[in-house]
Structure 1
Amino acid sequence: QKAMHVARCAGAHVVYGPGGAASWIGMENLAELMRLADFVLMSRSELRGMTGRDEPEAGARLLVERGVPAVVATLGEHGAACYTHRPGQGANAGDALGPDSSGGAIWAPAFDVDAVDTTGAGDAFASGFISSLVEGKPIAECLTRGNACAAIAIGQVGAREALPSREELEAFLAVHGNE
C-alpha cells in the first residue's frame, strides 16, 4: 500500500496484478489494494476465481462496481479488454483512458500466431501494456501492444527468453499491424 501511495503522489500510474493469489485471498481482502490501483491486471481464470463469475466481463464489471477504477482482463485467444467507469470517473485511469473509452470498455483482439508455450504470456502482456502506458499511449494501443508482446512470447519456449525487446515488438507490429 505504501508503494502505491508513493507512486500516486509522484503522479505515476499504479498497476496491480494480484495473480493467482486473487482466488485464494479473495475479493474482500484485496479490495483496498485494488481500489488504490489505476489498473488491475487479471487473467480470465483469475477473474473467475476471485469473483465467481464465469464471464470475464461480468467479473470485471463487478470489480468496477466495487470501486476498482479499471480492470484489464487478458482473454487468451480472444485478446484483452479494459473495463472501467465511464470516461473521466475513477482515479488516474479516467485520464489515461481518454476519448477511446466508449461505454467504459475497450477491447483489442489477439494476434493470430501459433502457440508453442503459453508460459509467461501474462507477464509479457503486462510488459507491453505497462510500458505503453508509461509512454502515454492510448489504452487501446496499450492493449494491442500488450497482446503483441504476449503473441511473441507464446511463439517461443520458456518465460524469460520469450519476453520481447522493444525492437522485437516494433518488428512484430510492423509485420502484423493491428490484426
Structure 2
Amino acid sequence: MAGVFCLGIATLDYVYSVETMPTRGEKYRSRGLAVVGGGCAGNASVAIARLGGDCWLATRLADDFTGDRIVADLNAEDVDTRFARRVAGLTSPVSAILVDAQGERMVISHSDPAMPEDVDWLPHELPGEAGAVLADTRWGEGALAALRLARAAGVPGVLDGDRKPPHPDLVATASHVAFSQQALREVSGEEDPRRGLAKIARDASTWLAVTLGKEGVLHWDGQVRHSPAFVIETVDTLGAGDVWHGAFALALAEGRDEVGAIRFASAAAALKCTRFGGRDGAPAREEVERFLSEQR
C-alpha cells in the first residue's frame, strides 16, 4: 500500500447550507448544517485514507476541545496523527462556511497567530512506507521541512499552492506544485492562467500545474497542456481542491505519471463536489475507479 506524509492545517468546520450568499447585515436561516473536520492538509489526508493509502498528518493544534475533535475525527478515518502537535493555552483552527444552492462557498476562518513556527519537533525522516509528501502553504517553515524530507528520500514532494507560497524556497524545493488560480495570479502577475503558468515555468525546474475547478487543470510540459474537468452536477465545492491534491499525491506515490495522476485526482474531486458537507463527501477508492470506468 502506498502512503503519503502530509503537513499543514487541520480545522473544525461549521458548514451551513444557504439558498444565496448573505449581502446585508441581518439574520439568515440555514437549510442544513454539517460539523466536520477541514483544512487543506486535514482534508487531503482523509481523502488519501479513503482512497486506500496510508497517511500521516503533521499539524499544529491547541490542547483544547476543538483540537480533541479534530484528532478524533482524523483517527476515525485511519489517518495517523502521531505527528499532531498540541499546544496549551491557544485555540485550534476553526472555520464558518456558507455553501449556496450553486455549490459555491464563502469561508471565514481563524488560526491562532501565536501558534509556534519552530520545526524541531518534526520527524527527521519519512515513515518507511511514505512514497510521497504533500504540504500546504499555511505553515511555510514546516512545509519547507517536509519537502526537504521528500527530496532526501527521493520521493515526490507536492506543494498545494492554494495561496501564494510564504517561503521563497518552497516552489524550488517541491518536485510538483499545483496552484490555485488566485495563487498563480499572485505569483505570476498574470490574469490569464495559461500566460501565468508559462511565465513561471520558464525559470522553474519544478513540475507545475494550476487547478481551475470546473474548467479543469493546466500543466506545463514544455508547453501548456489542458486536462478537462469531468461534467457533474455540483452540490458543494468545499474541500474539492484538497481532495484533488491528496488524490494526486497518492497517485504519484503509487507510481502513476502526472497525466494519469491528474485524471485520478480530478475524478476524486468531481465525486466530492456531488455531495454536501465538505470532506464528508470525499469518495472511496472503489467509487473513483467505477466513475473512471464509466467515462469515455
Per the normalisation by structure 1, the TM-score is 0.77
Mark the runs of 5 or more structure 2 residues left unpaired by the alignment: 1-143
How far does the alpha carbon of each residue in 1:132-152 deviate from its partner, in whole angstroms, 9 at most, with x for none?
Answer: 111111211111111111110
Query: Aligned pair 1:65/2:202, yes or no?
Result: yes
Q: Is the 8 A contact 1:34 1:68 kept in 2?
A: no
Per the normalisation by structure 2, the TM-score is 0.48
Residue 227 of structure 2: aligned partner: 108
Q: Which of the two has higher C-alpha Rg?
A: 2
Aligned mates of 2:225, 2:253 — CA distance in 1: 18
How far does the alpha carbon of each residue in 1:143-167 deviate from its partner, in whole angstroms, 9 at most, with x for none?
Answer: 1111111110111112211111211
Identity of aligned residues (%): 30
Q: Is the 8 A contact 2:235 2:273 kept in 1?
A: yes
Query: Aligned pair 1:2/2:137, yes or no?
Result: no
Q: 1:114 is paired with a residue of what secondary structure? A: coil
Query: Aligned pair 1:138/2:281, yes or no?
Result: no
Aligned residues: 153
Q: Is the 8 A contact 2:161 2:180 kept in 1?
A: no
Q: Is the 8 A contact 1:149 1:164 kept in 2?
A: yes
Shift of 1:49: 2.7
Aligned mates of 1:167, 1:127 — CA distance in 2: 16
Residue 88 of structure 1: aligned partner: none
Aligned mates of 2:224, 2:156 — CA distance in 1: 19
Q: Which amino acid aligns with 2:234?
A: A
Residue 178 of structure 2: aligned partner: 41
Higher helix content, 1 or 2: 1
Residue 155 of structure 1: aligned partner: 274
| Runs of 4+, deviation exceeding 3 Å | 103-106
Q: Sort the Cα spacing of 1:68 and 1:19 in 2 relative to 1 into closer, same or farther, 3 A.
A: farther
Aligned mates of 1:148, 1:116 — CA distance in 2: 15
Compare relative contact order (CA 8 Å, sep 6+) and give the higher one, 1 or 2: 2
How far does the alpha carbon of each residue in 1:78-130 deviate from its partner, in whole angstroms, 9 at most, with x for none?
Answer: 2112214xxxxxxxxxxxxxxxxxx4444311101011111111011112211
Q: Which amino acid aligns with 1:142?
A: A
Aligned mates of 1:66, 1:77 — CA distance in 2: 28
Q: Is the 8 A contact 1:39 1:71 kept in 2?
A: yes
Q: Is the 8 A contact 1:17 1:41 kept in 2?
A: yes
Residue 237 of structure 2: aligned partner: 118
Higher strand content, 1 or 2: 2
